[in-house]
Amino acid sequence: MSGPGNTAAHREIDAHTLKAMLADGSALLIDVREPEEFAAEHIKGALNAPLSRFVPHDLPEAGGRTIVLQCAGGKRSGMALDQCAAAQCAINTHLAGGIGAWKAAGLPVEHD
């Protein structure tokens, strides 16, 4: 499905796929929500890189892992993926449905 924030170049994974990738160490999760949203709840192991200050080349080194972007519902992570494509970064994966889909799948979140 194509549209703003969701181009054909975007790879979407579901919550259970992300859970497996985090468990086996093959994913680095970047949460692009704002700091107050991240502090309220986030997926364990996620790093915060807010879309309002998002710079693809400033993301941490993935060490061979797949960088997966995530937001609340998928729109902002899609916008961040568009920025990655424009910057010619190899980041193309995000969590379909964001943290909302993660919670709907019955998976845990952490609170600061």
3-class SS string, 78-108:
HHHHHHHHHCCCCCCEEECCHHHHHHHCCCC
Token output for 104: 């709907």
For residues 70 and 6, which has the higher predicted lDDT (pLDDT)? 70
Architecture of the domain whose range is 11-104: 3-Layer(aba) Sandwich (3.40)
The predicted-structure confidence for 79-97, as pLDDT tens digits, reads as follows 999 999 999 999 999 999 9
One DSSP character per residue, 10-63 reads -EEE-HHHHHHHHHTT-EEEEE-S-HHHHHH-B-TT-EE--GGG--GGGSPP-T
Question: Would you kindly state where each structural domain of the chain is located, as residue ranges?
Answer: 11-104
pTM confidence score: 0.91
